[in-house]
Amino acid sequence: MILKKDNRIPLDRFINYCLYDKKNGYYMNSNPFGMAGDFTTAPNISRLFSEMIAIWTISFWESLGSPKKFNLIELGAGNGEMMSVMIESFKRFPSFISSCNIFIFEKSPKLIEEQKKKIKSRNIKWIKNLKKLDKSPSIFLANEFFDAIPVKQFLKNRNDWFEKFVHISSNKKAKFINKKINIKKIEKKINFKVSNGQNFIEYSPIGLKYLKDISGLIKKNNGGILIIDYGYFDQKMQDTLQAIYKQKYSKVLENIGKSDITYNINFYFIEKIVKSFKELNINFTSQKKFLTNLGICQRAEIIGKNKTFTQKSDIFYRLRRLIDKNEMGDLFKVMLIKKSNNSSQIGF
């Protein structure tokens, strides 16, 4: 156990303990999603969000040639709200649902338990290894998935690079320290010159592996991955590490195992990785433009008909939270990775 003795561990290992330790991990023993949790994701704000993702998924399946057998995989399904609503929507498209094998990729036993309560469908399987997927075309959905994966941080001082470590003292107090490293060894290991043009580096080795593995599956078997997350598109990496404890920002080294630790996704970095796969390309936009292009405002008008003033106000209040530039509209970005010969532009 990393907190039982004097120790110096890399930042990503410390975060992994805080979030995913079997006994003390934040995600492993609690359900932090929804109004009672530390944060509310888009599917928990309004079912309109999940309905739009369902519409996009069906349209993208059609762009693949409507294969008679394909995989739909949600990466980290939270409390199961999004997939639950999506399955409701899919039932109106019998040819789609009969062709679809649905999987949820989840490592938290507690959240799997919550998801099974929420999702009423026999046509669904939980997996902990993406290698279990067959060779069918696969559509991956990653809504606030990559931001929950532990990150490393590196700082350049003159000509030397240092990695951020966490020092755990014998009294279990934690502090940040920097350890000198050979950045070329790290770049050789990940086969990517991540330090080019950078004075600061923030990336997730596990997230990078997921991205490469999924990109390889898309290239080999066809399909795509839709990534929705808060982040930025900039060549220069930024220090975006943050913690949330009881719905408020907290210090990363406090409330160990009781707070969410997250970071903003650098979509420019993802694009650079994808470009190493010659047969893949990307579409990219803001959440506001994506949802608006899919018709979320029109859908809100439809479901708001014959509602009371209070009910209609609630619908559009929730809609505003999803698409307003001062809410989630611009902060959240949407990226689609797919094969270059797929001309689908829906949502983009």
What is the DSSP secondary structure assignment for residue 33, as one 8-state letter?
A: B
Domain-embedded: residue 306: yes
Domain-embedded: residue 171: no
Domain-embedded: residue 74: yes
Query: What is the average pLDDT score of the chain?
Result: 90
Domain-embedded: residue 176: no
Torsion from C-alpha of 57, 300, 44, 38, nearest 10 degrees: 130
Q: What is the pLDDT of residue 75?
A: 97
CATH code at 64? 3.40.50.150
What is the pLDDT averaged over residues 38-51?
A: 87
Domain-embedded: residue 248: no
Amino acid symbol at 107: K
Q: Provide the number of structural domains found in the chain.
A: 1
Cβ(153)–Cβ(201) under 8 Å?
A: yes
Q: What is the pLDDT of residue 31?
A: 62
Domain-embedded: residue 303: yes
What is the pLDDT averaged over residues 281-291?
A: 97
Higher-pLDDT residue of 348 and 38 is 348
pLDDT surpassing 70 at residue 176: yes
Range of the domain at 47: 23-148+205-236+259-339
Q: What's the CA gap between 346 and 324, in Å, rounded? A: 20
Q: What's the CA gap between 72 and 120, in Å, rounded? A: 16
Domain-embedded: residue 5: no
Q: What's the CA gap between 75 and 66, in Å, rounded? A: 22
pLDDT surpassing 60 at residue 2: no
Domain-embedded: residue 62: yes
Higher-pLDDT residue of 38 and 119 is 119
